[in-house]
Amino acid sequence: MNKSIRIYVVDDNRLLREGLVSMLEEIPEFVIAGSAETGSEAIKQIQDTKPDVAVIDIGLPDKDGLEVTQSLHHTCPSVRVIILGMPDLTDQIMACIEAGASGYMLKSASFDTLVETIRSAHRGEAFCSPQMANSLFSRIAELAGNKASHTDTTLTTRELEIINKVALGMSNKEVATACFIEVQTVKNHIHNILDKLQLHNRLEAVEYAREKNLLNGKH
């Protein structure tokens, strides 16, 4: 008899979340350890329940899937994370992998693919579809061919404003409110900052800004 796999599901869409939980429960070796609709709730409960695999939507209302993955990678490294995301987001896929995700699966994939991805993650195997693998290799080749120091990289006025607010400890929602822009726009700016500076996360971006004396006042 196969050993059971304890799964935690994170999705802010209640219908999809409950539907996914219901379908996963039908798989003999799967046991649902819990579910959540926000990243903050998920981090806390996953730290408490220690599931084998966490299936996390990339687009959450507070902390996105990348931030949740980064947190879990440090606090619960034994939990295998599978990100559910959208196509044509190669940089996002790379960021998730660098953050510690075991797999990145498109929301348009079949349920059978998700089941096999969960099983693969539980075995300690990374998963990425052939289509995404091609995109990743192309992106890696592009980065390798364009290696350059980011010391001369110039951030835009808006990017500097964003990184200063992030340095103050503001969440994406708080930054959006302060700058009178949408949360997704904040995420896009942060993504562009990380891509431009060839950094992995917000903390590295803040440290870079601090080293370059780009921060205003006390941070």
Chain centroid offset of residue 118 CA? 17
- What pLDDT score was predicted for residue 133? 67
Residues of the chain with CATH 3.40.50.2300: 5-142
| The pLDDT of residue 111 is above 70 | yes
**pLDDT per residue over 44-100, tens digit each?**
999 999 999 999 998 888 888 888 998 998 899 999 999 998 765 666 677 777 788
- What pLDDT score was predicted for residue 148? 47
| The pLDDT of residue 142 is above 70 | no
Query: The domain 150-211 is classified under which CATH number: 1.10.10.10, 2.60.120.200, 3.40.50.970, 1.20.120.1690?
Result: 1.10.10.10
Section 193-202 average pLDDT = 88
CATH number 3.40.50.2300 given to 5-142: yes
Q: pLDDT class for 13, splitting at 50, 70, 90? A: very high
**pLDDT per residue over 149-190, tens digit each?**
444 467 888 889 999 999 998 999 999 999 889 888 999 899
- What pLDDT score was predicted for residue 64? 82
Residues of the chain with CATH 1.10.10.10: 150-211
Using alpha carbons, list the distances in angstroms from residue 194 to 17, 82, 96, 179, 203. 30, 22, 13, 19, 10
- What pLDDT score was predicted for residue 150? 45
